[in-house]
Chain A
Amino acid sequence: MTGATTVALPEDVDGAAPPGPGRRRGRGSGRRAGPAAALRSPAVAALAPLLGVVGLFFVLPLVGMALVSTGLVGRGEPGLGAYAGLLQGSQASAVANSVLVSLVGSSIAAVVGALTAFCLARIASARLSSLAGVFSSVLATDGGPPLAFAFVVTLGNTGFLTEALGLGALGFTLYSWQGLVVMYQYFLVPTMVLVTLPTFVGLRREWAEASTSLGGTPLTYWRRVGLPVALPALLGGWVLLFGAAYATYASAAVLIGSGALPLVPLSIASQLRSGISSGGEASAMALGVLMVVVAVVVLVLFNRLQARSARWLR
């Protein structure tokens, strides 16, 4: 309330008017400035340690990464040279490979995952859906060396499925972009199931029945209602899978190592390793910034699509 007085009488602020009681209260109570008051509350003492950790291990590294990538800090030349370098040579092929693997991997997983979620929803068993939700959550977090090992044992050059099915003769090798695509399905498909299962379950029986009572066949229903309603979630899931595949490092690093098939995350690691001297650092940081940008775009797109889907399915 006292804040309103201050705002209503600008001369008060200028100090032209004699200090009145209202003004004194306005300054003294500290109630007017919401954030300021909040900052003096015990909440701040409780927040400070967390802010410290986040600042030190998240904000500072990212700022540092951005600064090094532009050469403003560190040993590189100031400028956008590191970014220009992304368009050439091994960097460019790393970006191209990453996009290829992510695009193909996410597209296959989107189709398979959506189909699976659709079937799970149509089977319409609450227990099965719960189970699928839990296991998908667990599998969606899978990755790292154990995943890579599992695929080496199963589909590697001497893997048991490779030998049992004679995949080697077909020209399949796990250590290629196709191999990565196959391996990525392990966590991409469950992720897609996780994202789209609520959507398929959320398709109301009333919609299908309303369509039928109005003379529509099942095909009409899917063409005009079911698919259009599910579409945002499907696209959102697909975008999300692309982001997940693009950001995947650990399993690819263990499977491919460095060199054979350059990918963005692998290039970051190898250039960091190649060290300060070669000037690879700035270019690694530029690739890191690129990854963050891709991830931000993915997140924004995904959230938009999910929001639309949520509005429809409420």
Chain B
Amino acid sequence: MTAGVPREPLRPQRVLLWLPVVAVVLYVTVPVVATVAFAVLPGGSFSLDAYRVLGDDPSLARAAGRTVGVTVLTVLLLLATLVPAVVAVHLWAPRLRALLEVLCTLPLVVPPIALAAGVVALLRLGAQQGRGSAASTVSQALQDPDLPLVLVGTYVVLCLPFTFRALDAGLRTIPLRALVEASATLGSSTTGTLWRVVVPNVRGPVLFSVFFATAVCLGEFAVAATLSQETLPVWLATVASTDFRASIAVAVLLNLSTWALVLVAMLSADHVSARGHRGAGRDGARPSSTDPTSTGPGSTGPGSTGPGSTGSDLSAPAGDSHLDDGGVLPGAAGRPSR
């Protein structure tokens, strides 16, 4: 049994292995530190003056309000449409699962700026139908600057690939159908069953979806800017030309909260995937099981990069889909916040 045999002690050449790691860590940290320093250390001494913009600038308050409104609606619409669809497909129509998967994965292929272009095309087509026409009215309503519903719909689409995979993976790790049938034979009504059996089992993926969607809404720039909707990121870009330090100050806050949200999202999905995979039994013959697959969302199986892809593993448990079997979502290609 090689399992449990400790590794060789540290040799000098092992120190060399840390060089690239340290270099990348430095490269990643320096700009963050520089930004924070720029925001709170103007002229070398600590000051939170830059943050006065938070209270002083009404345009910031409006942008924040708009962003929050869009975020709340996006999260609600995402959950209200996606959760029932995935649960229903798993329970009653497994044959439609493939269709749903394709549908939810496709937005990944379309860069946000291209999607934004399409939305603009559509809105303009609507507006061209003439004042007072139904299409024109809808187009107007969707672009209402107080609550730009067009962003809500588009953001739901941008979130779908990752959130679908999280939910789908969460449901695939449990015998949902058997659980629901068991619950029914024990005398539970359908709604009672759904509440008691399904909800606890999708809690992790739902949490992931909430945090991830929030992160997307707080960070998305391409669509909002193209549609001239001043959300927080767009406000940042606008204000940068007049008050750079203020925009940096707000950017620091925004960026840190986006990171925290993504982190929390991945940890909540990780929790679920860990539960789902417990006992999946990795190969005991690999003592040095440096196993990034156990970090969960971002790293499931060779090369799946989407934070939502919680379902697979190198030692894939039964029931992994084709996508997990190597066809994996290149999450970064369609990353919404860029």
Residues of A with Cβ closer than 8 Å to B?
Answer: 34-35, 38, 41-47, 49-54, 56-58, 60-65, 67-68, 73-74, 112, 115-116, 119-126, 128-147, 149-151, 153-155, 159-161, 185-191, 193-199, 201-202, 204-206, 233, 236-237, 240-241, 243-244, 246-251, 253-254, 265, 268-269, 272, 276, 281, 284-285, 287-289, 291-292, 295-296, 298-299, 302-303, 306-311, 313-314
Contact A130 B294 (CB under 8 A): yes
Q: How far is the CB of A162 from chain B (nearest CB, A)?
A: 11
Q: Which A residues touch B21, using CB under 8 A?
A: 116, 119-120, 123, 132
Q: How far is the CB of B27 from chain A (nearest CB, A)?
A: 7
Would you call B106 an interface residue if the criterion is a C-beta within 8 Å of the partner chain's C-beta atoms? Answer: yes
- For A53, the chain B residues whose CB sits under 8 A away are 77, 81, 153, 156-157
CB distance A186 to B31 under 8 Å?
yes
Report the bound CA distance from A110 to B222 in whole Å. 25
Task: For chain B, residues 114 to 139, give those with C-beta under 8 angstroms from any C-beta of chain A.
Answer: 114-115, 117-122, 124-125, 128
B209 within 8 A of A: no
The interface residues of chain B lying within 8 Å CB-to-CB of A132 are 21, 292
Decide if the interface of chain A is mainly helix, strand, loop or mixed.
helix
Could you pull out 15 A-B pairs where Cβ atoms are within 8 angstroms?
A: A38-B96, A50-B84, A65-B121, A126-B294, A129-B291, A134-B296, A146-B251, A146-B255, A154-B35, A186-B27, A188-B332, A198-B302, A250-B337, A254-B236, A281-B121
B222: contacting residue among A147, A250, A311, CB under 8 A: A250
- Chain B 232-272 against A: per-residue CB contact (8 Å), 1 yes, 0 no? 01001100100000011001101100110011001100000
Q: Is the CB of A268 within 8 A of B96?
A: no
Residue numbers in B under 8 Å from A161 (CB-CB): 30, 34
Q: What residues on A are CB-neighbors of B125 within 8 Å?
A: 64, 68, 73-74
The number of residues on chain B lying at the interface, defined by a beta carbon within 8 Å of a beta carbon of chain A, is 115
In the complex, whether B87 has a CB less than 8 A from a CB of chain A is yes
The reply to whether A134 and B290 contact each other, CB–CB distance below 8 Å, is no
Q: Which of B24, B113, B128, B251 contacts A112 (CB 8 A)?
A: B24
Cβ-defined partner of B221 (8 Å) among A67, A253, A313: A253
Instruction: Name which of A116, A153, A206, A285 has the most chain B CB atoms within 10 A of its CB.
Output: A153
Is B292 a contact of A129 with CB atoms below 8 Å? yes
- When distances are taken between beta carbons in the complex, the residues of chain A under 8 Å from B236 are 145-146, 149, 254
Q: Is the CB of A201 within 8 A of B95?
A: no
**Distance to closest chain B CB from A256 (angstroms):** 12
In the bound complex, CA of A188 to CA of B109 (Å): 17
Is the C-beta of B298 less than 8 angstroms from some C-beta in chain A?
Answer: yes
Of the candidates A56, A119, A131, A268, the one whose C-beta lies within 8 Å of that of B117 is A268
In the bound complex, residues from chain A placing their C-beta under 8 Å from that of B80 are: 49
Q: With A146-B255, A247-B113 given, is the CB distance from A46 to B87 under 8 Å?
A: yes
Residues of B within 8 A of A134 (CB): 263, 266-267, 295-296, 298
Q: How far apart sit A2 and B237, CA to CA, in the bound complex (Å)? A: 65
Q: Are B314 and A198 in contact (CB under 8 A)?
A: yes
- Whether, in the assembled complex, B275 has its beta carbon less than 8 Å from a beta carbon of chain A, the answer is no
A133 engages B111 (CB within 8 Å): no
Interface assignment of B178: CB less than 8 Å from any CB of chain A? no
Give chain A residues whose Cβ lies under 8 Å from the Cβ of B192. none
**Taking the complex as formed, is B103 at the interface, i.e. its CB lies under 8 A from any CB of chain A?**
yes
Q: How far is the CB of B6 from chain A (nearest CB, A)?
A: 11
Residue contact B266 to A61, C-beta cutoff 8 Å: no
CB atoms of B333 and A269 under 8 A apart: no
Within 8 A of A (CB), among B17-38: 17-21, 24, 27-28, 30-32, 34-35, 37-38
Bound-complex Cα distance A112 to B24 (A): 8
Q: Known: A233-B303, A314-B314. Contact between A123 and B18, CB under 8 A?
A: yes
Q: Are B240 and A149 in contact, with the CB atoms below 8 A?
A: yes
- Is A38 touching B118 in the complex (CB atoms < 8 A)? no
**Which chain A residues border B65 with CB–CB below 8 Å?**
none
- Say how far B211's CB is from chain A's closest CB, in angstroms: 12
Contacts of B113 in A (CB 8 A): 247, 249, 265, 268-269, 288, 291
Least CB distance from A14 to B in Å reads: 29
> Would you call B330 and A243 a contact (CB within 8 A)?
yes
Q: Is B110 an interface residue (CB 8 A)?
A: yes
Minimum CB–CB distance for A139 against chain B, Å:
6
Additional pairs, 15, CB under 8 Å, beyond known A60-B118, A126-B289, A154-B34 = A42-B92, A54-B104, A65-B114, A120-B21, A124-B288, A150-B35, A151-B31, A153-B248, A187-B338, A197-B299, A247-B114, A247-B333, A253-B222, A272-B117, A288-B113
Chain B contacts of A143 at CB under 8 A?
219, 221, 335, 337-338
Judge whether A202 and B254 touch: CB under 8 Å: no
